[in-house]
Amino acid sequence: MLFHHLNRSLLLLFLLIGQVSLLFSQSANATEQGDQYYLQAKLAFRNRQVDSFILYMDVALQYYRKDENWNQVFSCYQGLSNFYRRQGDFARSLIYADSLIMLTRGKIEDEEDRYDGLGHAYLLKGVLNNELGYLEEAIANYRRAIVEKEKMEKVDSQALAKSWNNLAIAHSDLGDYEQALKCYQRAFAFLPIDGGWEGKATIWNNIGHIYFLLDQPDSAIPYFLRAYRLFQTDPEGAISSSLQYAGNYINFCNNLGKAYLKRKQYDSSYLYLAEALRLEQPSQNDDKLSLSYQLLGKLRVDQGLYQEGLDLLNKSLLKAVAFYQSPHPRIGVCHLEIGRAHLERAQWEKARTHLTQAWENLLKNSAQVDSLGFPDLIDHVFSKIDMLKVAHAFGELGLQQYHGTGKDHFLREALRYFHFADDLIVSMRQSYLGEESKHYLAERSDRIYGEAIEAALAYYRSSGDRAALAEAFFFMERNRASSLMESRMDKEARMFSNIRASEKGQLLLSEESRLKRELAAYRRLLFESESKP
């Protein structure tokens, strides 16, 4: 097998050397030669021949540079940036995106082409910033793309609609939902009245996603359905002819599936997720189908059908690995869901294996970790909300293993993860970089802090270490401060929106009363623990 791999690599190397040696000796038009290798590169990309794609693209680039065909050099840089983005190599993808900007500014002489090129380059860079979690930078680049596109004499409505749509997504991820909705309205303005069906469906879908993030599946479902039904009716056959048709249709089915799953309407959820899988084709849309399998797996696990659920979750992982072919946050989420399923069945070692894989896939390539594997900076994780779920799962795993074995070192491990979860919660609340609403964060953090207090008290009882009591008080105060802050913010938001505070029966006062009762209960537990010999 190794000999075969070496032979293949040598053949590719000889191909490159041979073509480069002929590059400056042939009298044929360099652009025509470049076009041939550019076409070969595209075919290699479709066939997932990674090495061949890079080599063919490199040869094409040299031909285009020789002929000073900068528009085709632009296309090569754009293709390479998208390729490395798909591979999960975001650093290299960003290098090519920056090269696009420098090339366009320095080499593209036609003013209209320059505005067009910069608009595409900034849009691509914004997408990369968004995927890396650098949302402020993403917003800045999307706005630069819009500025460049608006300079063009011939309005590029499609690119402007896409830029406004992506800008809305970035604002949504920042938690600025009002601004996101305004951007979606601007995106709609660039779509034709009697057309642009695919764009309209995408925007409706994204508005539904905002409501889903706000933990309002009832409000999200009508928008998801509007997008889904538009794709079903397909006015004038304009949508089904699109290359992205199947992928978008799967995405809409997935969103309806997860919204109904959130409402525990399993039959409706299964109906849409199964429809997504009917569009499955070899090596196509594996990223979206991975999500379909994942949601179906979670559905079956929720119903208590663990083995069927695990089989579906494993298919989700295989799809993600096949699509990304390298460590990637999406692969991390797949491992997380499998780990949580094993955790529910108290299969601790299997759970630990998958949670460890989830942790490693959610760390950025630039992350520096300590001896225990924790990143030195919170911003070195791809998705804070997903990493929070992993840290929480590790904390639960430690608690379960302690209760099952009586070994208190599992509690110490759990507390390390709970402290890291606390760092994530604080960071998310301060920066508003969470992918979920603040209400969802408050709900999740309340459970995390409660289990952290349980772990600290159990460790004190087991070890007699009084520092564990301090940890219990620390988590208790964190929980109290977190809940009061969220309640205050919620009350202010209702007042600002002219929504009567009485609608929820003076939420803030009732929340404060609940916390006082919990505080008294925790103090009683601590007193009882200290009183025991």
DSSP letter, residue 417: H
Of 366, 359, 369, 370, the C-alpha closest to 392 is 359
Q: How confident is the model at residue 234 (pLDDT cuts 50, 70, 90)?
A: low
Task: Compute the distance between CA of residue 207 and CA of residue 434 in angstroms, rounded to an integer.
Answer: 17
Average pLDDT score over the chain: 79
Residue 316 sits at φ, ψ, to 5 deg, of: -60, -45
What's the average model confidence in pLDDT over 79-92? 84
Decide if pLDDT at 299 tops 70.
yes
Query: Which one-letter amino acid corresponds to residue 184?
Result: Y
CATH classification at residue 271: 1.25.40.10
Residue 484, pLDDT score: 57
Domain-located, residue 220: yes
How many domains does one find in the chain?
A: 1
| Burial (CB count within 10 angstroms: exposed 0-12, middle 13-18, buried 19+), residue 194 | exposed
Q: What is the pTM of this model?
A: 0.62
- Tokens read off for 291: 């999500």
Decide if pLDDT at 375 tops 50.
yes
Domain-located, residue 413: no
Residue 109, pLDDT score: 83
In angstroms, the Cα distances linking 507 to 44, 500, 503 are 59, 11, 9
Domain-located, residue 79: no
Structural domain of 319: 193-330
Decide if pLDDT at 490 tops 50.
no
Decide if pLDDT at 233 tops 80.
no
Domain-located, residue 483: no
Q: What is the pLDDT of residues 127-148, one digit of tens each?
A: 888 877 677 888 999 999 999 9
Q: What is the pLDDT of residues 460-485, one digit of tens each?
A: 888 888 888 889 888 888 887 766 55
Of 256, 316, 328, 315, the C-alpha closest to 291 is 316
Which stretch, 107-121, 340-354, 357-371, 461-475, has highest mean pLDDT?
340-354
Residue 505, pLDDT score: 41
Residue 483, pLDDT score: 62
In angstroms, the Cα distances linking 513 to 36, 363, 483, 520 are 73, 40, 12, 11
Domain-located, residue 100: no
**How many other CB atoms sit within 10 Å of the CB of residue 28?**
10
Domain-located, residue 387: no
Decide if pLDDT at 313 tops 90.
yes
- Tokens read off for 276: 């997504």
